């Protein structure tokens, strides 16, 4: 029997009001979650999720304060600075496989929420929750700014990708995704691969980015890198009056799957590339294969360059790091590069052009979204290359309105959500 804790069921309901979920009726403290989601089975037998895990909804004595406890840890979702009117937050676990997952659906106003599953050894459940809330909001902005008929969602699984992966974990997780009935579509992200997406797909059709050999769109990293190059041409045009990348000095923080593909495209365009990564083997590979230069990881942000490209994890640009920057512009693939939106103003005050990550790193999302209409590489690349014009449009709008590019991009995304999204707020689950 699959059990999934959904905050959509808990939000805006007060015990005793007659509107609380039936399993909370008459209870003012805590309760075990019932089998709220129908049981599912697989060809390897029934997977019983959460046989022992307790997830509870707790209302404060004033019957307005709402929070969630998972495994005895207080997860104050509604108080989180990253909670931004999310539609649904789902907690799921399987003690046998060690699965501990959180799925955050920020918005389905424009369509089903599509966003990758990140497998990462978070220090705590609170850290995992904060990340998934922040990332899912970014996916809403990314889809809207890209003109896609998609909403924003994200999932995180707590664990080390080198040790926790197993068939049972992915199939249990696939059942959780399937229980959402298409409101959330998953794909590859940090710590996951196309092979993992194929394992998830054995339990649900709502797993995209499966291998090309299986009819999917494959690894999204090259597509994300292609989108970065498109955006960089718009930035080069702004900085030098020429969209060509020859001689442009680019510093890349992080040469994982996306950063390496991006560095390769830059060297092919005869740009000058400097890289850094906490993984020295990744740096060695880039230097050996691509002939790029490298610096220690803690020096990359202060490297003298035209463009700084954060391609690792987020929040690298913040109050502490901005004073050391010597670049003319920042644009890269990392999600949530700014620690806070106020950092966009700090960059503007420092005379540094910041191009929002959710605009320039949309290539992977665009690529995988094409599976909804029948994937072709040519069709995906055509839409990804349009990121150049989208970036130029955002920069022009920022100039006209005398606002930061970050504010301009958010305005474009929100305007589209307001104009189109009201047609299908809280999209119902899709059925076969």
User: Residue 73: its pLDDT value, please?
Assistant: 55
Residue 248 lies in a domain: yes
CATH number at residue 327: 3.40.50.720
Domain count, the chain: 2
Residue 312 lies in a domain: yes
CB 151 within 8 A of CB 427: yes
Residue that is written with structure tokens 């969209």 in the block: 243
Q: Based on the domain organization, do 197 and 226 belong to the same domain? A: no
Tokens (6 digits) for 142: 């990314």
Residue 197 lies in a domain: yes
Q: Based on the domain organization, do 195 and 343 belong to the same domain? A: no
User: Residue 41: its pLDDT value, please?
Assistant: 29
pLDDT in tens, 271-293: 999 999 999 999 999 999 999 99
Residue 158 lies in a domain: yes
Q: Based on the domain organization, do 191 and 238 belong to the same domain? A: no
Q: How far is it, in rounded angstroms, from Cα 138 to Cα 22?
A: 34
Q: Based on the domain organization, do 197 and 316 belong to the same domain? A: no
Q: DSSP state, 23?
A: G
Three-class DSSP labels, 345-400: HHHHHCCCEECCHHHHCCHHHHHHHHHHCCCCHHHHHHHHHCHHHHHHHHHHHHHH
Q: Based on the domain organization, do 161 and 188 belong to the same domain? A: yes
Q: What is the mean pLDDT of residues 334-341?
A: 91
Least confident of 2-6, 141-145, 370-374, 382-386: 2-6
What distances in angstroms separate CA 401 from CA 30, 348, 405, one per listed residue?
A: 50, 14, 10
pLDDT in tens, 169-209: 999 999 999 999 999 999 999 999 999 999 999 999 999 99
Last residue of a domain, one of 160, 187, 208: 208
Q: How far is it, in rounded angstroms, from Cα 151 to Cα 45?
A: 33
Residue 307 lies in a domain: yes
User: Is residue 30 scored above 80 in pLDDT?
Assistant: no
Q: What is the mean pLDDT of residues 29-51?
A: 33
Q: Based on the domain organization, do 315 and 359 belong to the same domain? A: yes
Q: How far is it, in rounded angstroms, from Cα 207 to Cα 67?
A: 30
Q: How far is it, in rounded angstroms, from Cα 12 to Cα 328?
A: 46
Q: Based on the domain organization, do 202 and 233 belong to the same domain? A: no
pLDDT in tens, 235-271: 999 999 999 999 999 999 999 999 999 999 999 999 9
User: Residue 409: its pLDDT value, please?
Assistant: 97
Residue 215 lies in a domain: no
Residues spanned by the domain of 140: 5-208
Q: How far is it, in rounded angstroms, from Cα 276 to Cα 338?
A: 19
Q: Based on the domain organization, do 98 and 51 belong to the same domain? A: yes
Q: Which residues of 235-271 are buried (b: 16+ CB within 10 A; e: fewer)?
A: bbbbeeeeeebeebbbbbbbbbbbbbbbbbbbbebeb
CB 91 within 8 A of CB 101: yes
Last residue of a domain, one of 185, 208, 231: 208
Pairing of strands 88-94, 249-253: unpaired
Q: Based on the domain organization, do 335 and 186 belong to the same domain? A: no
Last residue of a domain, one of 165, 187, 208: 208
Q: What is the mean pLDDT of the chain?
A: 84
162 in active site: no
User: Residue 313: its pLDDT value, please?
Assistant: 79
Q: Based on the domain organization, do 168 and 237 belong to the same domain? A: no
Question: Nearest-CA neighbor of 222 among 118, 334, 92, 363?
Answer: 363
Q: How far is it, in rounded angstroms, from Cα 413 to Cα 396?
A: 15
Least confident of 61-70, 219-228, 247-256, 334-343: 61-70
Q: Based on the domain organization, do 254 and 134 belong to the same domain? A: no
Q: How far is it, in rounded angstroms, from Cα 133 to Cα 130?
A: 5
CATH number at residue 172: 3.40.50.10860
Q: Based on the domain organization, do 147 and 22 belong to the same domain? A: yes
Q: How far is it, in rounded angstroms, from Cα 134 to Cα 122?
A: 14
User: Residue 425: its pLDDT value, please?
Assistant: 54
Q: Which of 154, 162, 165, 257 is catalytic?
A: 154
Q: What is the mean pLDDT of residues 121-136?
A: 93
What distances in angstroms separate CA 20 from CA 68, 90, 426, one per listed residue?
A: 15, 17, 19
pLDDT in tens, 69-117: 544 456 666 777 577 789 989 999 899 999 999 999 999 999 999 999 9
Three-class DSSP labels, 242-261: CCCCCCCEEEEECCCHHHHH
Residue 431 lies in a domain: no
Residue 187 lies in a domain: yes
User: Is residue 369 scored above 50 in pLDDT?
Assistant: yes
């Amino acid at each position: 029997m699959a059990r999934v804790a959904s905050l959509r069921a808990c939000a805006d309901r007060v015990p005793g009001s007659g509107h609380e979920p039936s399993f909370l009726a008459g209870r003012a403290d805590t309760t075990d979650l019932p089998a709220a989601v129908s049981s599912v089975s697989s060809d390897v037998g029934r997977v019983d999720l959460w046989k022992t895990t307790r997830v509870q909804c707790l209302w404060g004595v004033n019957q307005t304060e709402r929070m969630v406890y998972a495994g005895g840890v207080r997860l104050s979702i509604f108080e989180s600075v990253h909670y931004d009117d999310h539609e649904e937050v789902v907690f799921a676990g399987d003690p046998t496989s060690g699965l501990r997952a959180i799925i955050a659906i920020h918005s389905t106003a424009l369509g089903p929420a599509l966003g990758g599953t990140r497998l990462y050894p978070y220090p705590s459940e609170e850290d995992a929750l904060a990340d998934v809330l922040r990332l899912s909001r970014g996916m809403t902005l990314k889809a809207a700014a890209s003109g896609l008929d998609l909403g924003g969602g994200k999932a995180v699984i707590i664990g080390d990708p080198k040790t926790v992966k197993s068939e049972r974990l992915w199939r249990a997780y696939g059942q959780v995704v399937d229980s959402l009935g298409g409101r959330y579509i998953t794909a590859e992200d940090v710590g996951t691969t196309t092979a993992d997406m194929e394992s998830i797909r054995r339990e649900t059709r709502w797993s995209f980015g499966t291998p090309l050999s299986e009819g999917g769109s494959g690894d999204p990293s090259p597509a994300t890198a292609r989108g970065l190059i498109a955006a960089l041409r718009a930035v080069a045009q702004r900085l030098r009056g020429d969209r060509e990348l020859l001689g442009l000095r680019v510093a890349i923080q992080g040469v994982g799957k996306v950063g390496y593909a991006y560095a390769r495209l830059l060297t092919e365009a005869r740009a000058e590339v400097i890289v850094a990564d906490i993984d020295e083997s990744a740096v060695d590979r880039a230097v050996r294969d691509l002939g790029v230069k490298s610096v220690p990881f803690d020096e990359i942000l202060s490297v003298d360059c035209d463009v700084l490209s954060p391609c690792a994890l987020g929040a690298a640009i913040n109050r502490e790091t901005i004073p050391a920057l010597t670049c003319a512009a920042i644009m890269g693939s990392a999600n949530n590069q700014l620690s806070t939106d106020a950092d966009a103003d700090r960059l503007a005050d420092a005379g540094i052009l910041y191009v929002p990550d959710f605009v320039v790193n949309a290539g992977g999302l665009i690529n995988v979204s094409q599976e909804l209409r029948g994937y072709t590489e040519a069709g995906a690349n055509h839409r990804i290359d349009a990121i150049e014009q989208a970036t130029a449009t955002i920069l022009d709008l920022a100039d006209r309105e005398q606002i930061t590019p970050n504010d301009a991009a958010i305005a474009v995304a929100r305007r589209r959500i307001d104009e189109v999204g009201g047609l299908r707020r809280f999209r119902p689950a899709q059925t076969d």
